[in-house]
Structure 1
């Protein structure tokens, strides 16, 4: 079909112009429009090189595209075609033909013509006329409309105030990019006044990002159409740049584009969007080509790439992510749909006791960290300082010199330049190098035997805790002389250990050392108080309650202490993380179980898909993951969940809700795994597992009790959620499980920022403070608190000043009612035993563990001793960071100087203590109190 034939076919059709007049259709005008696009550069401007005519090949391309557009229009049954519909078809034809630069120029041309049609708006008095660096006047109407749109639905935001503040910082000759930055900074300075400005700032940033991605100004009311038009173009652009995997072009991109919901961009707060822009959106030559919704659709497409009905699943996954009901972990968000889809979060390794094995493990660390993996290393098998080396007839230097190399490797291989490399080394308490291991993070001593950038953790057997309770002796050994202790736990470990102690007494073991268990325990607590390390984790609960104890031994946890999987010299354990957003699952003042089941079912499918899609840098990781298929579904926003239900964290009701939410998440996760097993088959090593034996995590508590002495396990094992566990048991008996492990609660440091909720299960640090991460510093203010204070007429400039003065705490602000002080108690105002009790209730349902931060005001040796003993007695598997502030934290002067000065940053400062020793602090750059975001 040629142009003459098309004109004849379409001669009865009319084109409706923007002024309302209808004119006869002619293909020549379409051809002219496409020709103009070819004569523009990618900025929508005439070619500066003097290009005024098309080549013969370009003429032929224009004719072919004109035919395509007209053929598409001819299939519409409408007698009258709108001019915008015709121009839309021109854009689509240019994109489908691969003429991306021409399509971009055409889009820009349309936008400029649209702006010319906008009526002029006069700036109010006090707003100066500004000339841009291009010599064109700054369009006040555009600026005002941009801020007005950013304030839609935010009643406390004053658009005029933002514009006035921004105009104070612009000048003649200013670039347009600086004008947009000035608007953003003006709104940002107002964030402490009201949480609405957090959303305003995010939306102004979003406009800047859209301009970068789309190449033109696109406001929120135009975003839906822009997304739909540009999505396919952006995918193809990413493929051409080598940032997106080629198979992504095989999806029905038009269908997926129509599923994007631009309105969901408005959910983001400033820190969430800035973090996405800085670290998550794909870019080429420094220019981003992703926006929030296209980014999440890219992630969803990658996760759905091996599904039979992949478009349907991609849309399902996208809707779950974009609604913020669930969020995948950072490696999945970074790499899904890319040529190297390393989507897993955690890797656990065991280091062999030979030089080749040691350096192979360090190499594995580097390869796994390269694509954003967090690492946990079990160093217990490596012989201690002074041990005999048969091959050289010399003595070993022990574990510590190698840990220095591990530390420096983590610094050097910084997860693709996106995050600091992160590793945690574990050592069992009976290892002869344990005392020097405890000193690794000290700031004094030989720096060659210090690891300032690496995390460390104690892997403590129950027998040691019994000896501490009994004030007994403890014997340290080198693993080269007691090799089986590494793989033993429970009563078997106790028997073997005591047999080795007897051998040592008889002189049959050459290298050992006797210490007082209580003295070693006190040094452990002193070091975690002083340096934050090593963390306290418990070997026996991790193993006795492990569903996979038939297939190996849990020798350590991971970087953030929530993953408890088997490792060996042949297997590197791998886990894939994602977290349910609890505040998004509230209905009628309680947990919405119907929605939660749907969320967990889809989330478990996404996590299971990761195992098959994942890029494995090390074969031992692939083999382990394919054999056992563990995943780790977690939760975040627990404290906000309590705010929404009006429940203080320091209460029995909060403990009950911790129990109920964990039971519900675990119930639906285990149920979803049985459904996946029915559809896809059981995991390979299922036979002989606790699942196979009919023993669920709640049942395994009895196994732990059986391995401990009476009184050494004190835990409420009742169910408060009323779930039908017999249904799950029956389904497991019939269908088995798809995944060896299903649930673990990770820190969610970064993804909770993206979603805009409190991290993981942590209590709120302060109600108003500055949160720091790799993207900068961000004012954080509790929107729930502001709402309540507004309702009581208490939110004003004085309250903002008071919150700053009292470090984000309500406790000493006299006019705040007692019920709000209790509800909004901050992390250091909550006694740590409440954190332990809530975690213990969760742990009884969870098949892995939790990243449990301990917050302690006025820390003392006695308080530390009581808290960590309580964690052991309640059956916890692991703990994470200890967060402390001094009991003698400096009082504020009654004269209150600097009342209106800046918000204090989220870094607990060392405080002088009388006879209490140094105080553990946060590291600069942490997201609130979540120490690392390498997991999530």
Structure 2
């Protein structure tokens, strides 16, 4: 038995808690995830509640909202209903609700969208507010489309705008500084409209996977743009501040560039903005600009949404040896889940007053599903088939309609959502409690707790090997697949190990064709079927469907392009893709990867490549008098040493292009590892006749030329090692740290590991437990320990 489980049992006994015979039917891995991330701990970090205690805590807290509407409400009855569906794993709310309900933090929502205004005050307010949300366990979405483009004039200061991407890097740095209360790492969604003048830079801003690591990014597509793509026409770029046309680009070329970047490393994703707003239930309150980090929840600025998912495996019944959907039970669970999620809105502790006001005005909830792929196995339906797609459509139609019926019933008892007068329902004559009701989220760790597949994603692997204590390997096999193979007399450990090695049963001998036909995995399924399934659910989902289309490594750019176009044509609201092995340091592979050995000859002949410029640097700027006037020299450091030089000539004129070219070459040389003393040696002493002529009559001139001035500035920087921090960023981070009380020395902000003191970027394995990691909804998730990371 795993040591973690032994320890858990000892703690339970020591506390003398009646565990009720492990009423919550969870496996050992689920218990490990709960203990690590969900169950309450004392100041020493010891777990002090059981999974059953957690369920009681959540059910009791959320049930209290009934009294807000009826003083005589039977709270005990509601609490029991909530307890039963969660304890039986029939329904699970999003992680913040399980973690925080009935505890001091009390923040229960998973997803938020914040506005980013086109001013320094607005930008840094958004950074501060995001930090508060991350600290409370939520994820944030932003549209950077309001920010003026790089190089545009800032009239209030006479300066030049640095553009959306530069500020995204500041948001990213602030997120890196904030740890989500020791439970989850900060996650962001960054969106830019396709007609923003900086769109090309945005598309490629994550080409280097070490950049902007705390963001998923998506391009906000418009119908006009997509029409131009199909016609291969130009489209206009518009200044968001002045609304003036700033240029044109060929739509097909831009679309191909998006495809190329996504093929390379999975980003950017695409979001169809016009479709989000066509389904905006409260257009009177404003336009939808962004979504939560995984893309399934379009929200207005300052809105939040709490999510929950129904475990579809628990909605099956067996009759005459065959499984079928128990629609009566499913309907009952939908009713309880809608009631639960509506209550969460009232008992929630919101991180900002603006968020509380906006959330309570629309009362959006997001009820979804998990275990869909498992349900198809039990029903004998193939995921990549018309029958599978039609079934998904029928199933979600039932859930969506039942959720609407329950929301109407709640409206009769509690009233419509306050922003009803600004909604599409006012003219339809439908009195509804919640502006939206259904969402398909990726489910991440809650599907690990439930022991089922994630969201509506196909299963990644039938069998895989998981690392456990002392480097032991534990073979994990899908429960129903194991049951069937035992019944058919073909089960063996050797077969399961072979499946784990191959990652699929499609080409393994000895497995009957009818089983092969049903138990398909992600890479067995052609991309078009991923999109068809997503579209079938989207038709009956108020919000959106989080879905990642997984491609094999051999997939072409044309395959990605066709998938994006199919998603557009079939009515999806967005799509994310991931090509296996496309990122440096493979994120998840079903086959072993051999380490490449570089010989000494290869190392000698290898061309030197400058290290990537970091997102933030620190440095000094000094003014030097030269023959042409004033030369301003900026010398910046990164964590290694001096990494770059910038120069700027004053108004007197001179030759700015020459000094800029010199600065660029110096910067490249520094980041390529050239010893700075050799650079200084080459620069110092270079003479310029203009400077020498002026120097004779001007005692303020103490240099021989621009290069000489740069060389001396570098020398002073090395000798004095002056480090002046960027106060615009560090001040806001310090302010955020004080306000949200960010813990220090208790884990890495990157990976939540208790012992880690540095960022772990090797994502081929989970940084916490060493097991493989899956992609879903633009994020990665470890099914062994619950570790997750977006961006």
With normalisation by structure 2, the TM-score equals: 0.72
Check 1:686–1:771 CA distance in 2 against 1; reply closer, same or farther (3 A cut). farther
- Unaligned regions of 5+ residues in structure 1, if any? 1-182, 186-204, 217-225, 229-259, 483-499, 505-511, 695-731, 891-903, 913-920
Check 1:420–1:801 CA distance in 2 against 1; reply closer, same or farther (3 A cut). same
Check 1:837–1:908 CA distance in 2 against 1; reply closer, same or farther (3 A cut). farther
Aligned residue among 607, 613, 622 for 2:356: 622
- Aligned partner of 2:570 in structure 1 is 874
DSSP-derived class of the 2:536 partner: helix
- Aligned partner of 1:281 in structure 2 is 39
Aligned residue among 574, 591, 595 for 2:329: 595
Q: Does 1:459 align with 2:227?
A: no
Structure with higher strand content:
2
Q: Does 1:535 align with 2:262?
A: no
Q: 2: distance between equivalents of 1:845 and 1:361?
A: 33
CA contact (8 A) 2:438 2:543 kept: yes
- Aligned partner of 2:138 in structure 1 is 373
DSSP-derived class of the 1:871 partner: helix
Q: Does 1:802 align with 2:498?
A: yes
CA contact (8 A) 1:343 1:576 kept: yes
DSSP-derived class of the 1:686 partner: helix
Aligned residue among 4, 23, 26 for 1:268: 26
Q: Does 1:433 align with 2:198?
A: yes
CA contact (8 A) 1:908 1:922 kept: no
Q: Does 1:420 align with 2:185?
A: yes
What displacement does 1:837 show? 1.1
What displacement does 1:641 show? 0.6
Deviation per residue, 1:757-780 (Å, 9 max, x gap): 00010001111124699xx99753
Aligned residue among 278, 295, 300 for 2:54: 295
Range moving further from structure 2, 274-283 or 544-553: 544-553
CA contact (8 A) 2:134 2:185 kept: no
CA contact (8 A) 1:658 1:839 kept: no
Q: 2: distance between equivalents of 1:766 and 1:354?
A: 48
Q: Does 1:850 align with 2:545?
A: yes
What displacement does 1:546 show? 2.0
Aligned residue among 540, 560, 565 for 1:864: 560
What displacement does 1:639 show? 0.2
CA contact (8 A) 1:345 1:935 kept: no
What displacement does 1:804 show? 3.2
- Aligned partner of 1:470 in structure 2 is 231
Aligned residue among 4, 9, 16 for 1:210: 9
Q: 1: distance between equivalents of 2:214 and 2:195?
A: 25
Q: CA RMSD in A?
A: 2.7
Q: 2: distance between equivalents of 1:381 and 1:535?
A: 20
In the TM superposition, 1:720-869 aligns within 5 A as 733=430, 736-770=431-465, 779-806=475-502, 808-857=503-552, 858-869=554-565
DSSP-derived class of the 2:574 partner: coil
Q: 2: distance between equivalents of 1:270 and 1:542?
A: 40
Q: 1: distance between equivalents of 2:405 and 2:28?
A: 37
Q: 1: distance between equivalents of 2:479 and 2:231?
A: 49
Q: Does 1:586 align with 2:325?
A: no
Q: 1: distance between equivalents of 2:370 and 2:500?
A: 26
- Aligned partner of 1:562 in structure 2 is 296
Tell me which of the two structures has the higher relative contact order, counting C-alpha pairs closer than 8 angstroms and 6 or more residues apart. 2
- Is the radius of gyration larger for structure 1 or structure 2? 1
CA contact (8 A) 1:856 1:882 kept: yes
Q: 2: distance between equivalents of 1:318 and 1:428?
A: 44
DSSP-derived class of the 2:141 partner: strand
- Aligned partner of 1:89 in structure 2 is none
DSSP-derived class of the 2:81 partner: helix
CA contact (8 A) 2:462 2:500 kept: no
Q: 2: distance between equivalents of 1:879 and 1:636?
A: 19
Q: 1: distance between equivalents of 2:411 and 2:17?
A: 37
CA contact (8 A) 2:234 2:250 kept: yes
- Aligned partner of 2:774 in structure 1 is 928
CA contact (8 A) 1:474 1:515 kept: yes
DSSP-derived class of the 2:775 partner: coil
In the TM superposition, 1:307-706 aligns within 5 A as 307=66, 308-443=73-208, 450-482=211-243, 504=245, 512-567=246-301, 572-587=302-317, 588=319, 589-694=323-428
Q: 2: distance between equivalents of 1:354 and 1:884?
A: 40
Q: 1: distance between equivalents of 2:232 and 2:592?
A: 34
Q: 1: distance between equivalents of 2:497 and 2:85?
A: 39
- Aligned partner of 2:729 in structure 1 is none
CA contact (8 A) 1:771 1:905 kept: no
What displacement does 1:924 show? 4.0
Q: 2: distance between equivalents of 1:552 and 1:804?
A: 50
Deviation per residue, 1:289-321 (Å, 9 max, x gap): 111111111111111123332222212111010
What displacement does 1:590 show? 2.6
- Unaligned regions of 5+ residues in structure 2, if any? 67-72, 597-761, 767-771, 782-787
CA contact (8 A) 1:748 1:935 kept: no
What displacement does 1:438 show? 1.5
DSSP-derived class of the 2:345 partner: helix
Check 1:210–1:344 CA distance in 2 against 1; reply closer, same or farther (3 A cut). same
What displacement does 1:281 show? 0.7
Structure with higher helix content:
1
What displacement does 1:675 show? 1.1
Check 1:680–1:771 CA distance in 2 against 1; reply closer, same or farther (3 A cut). farther
Check 1:517–1:631 CA distance in 2 against 1; reply closer, same or farther (3 A cut). same
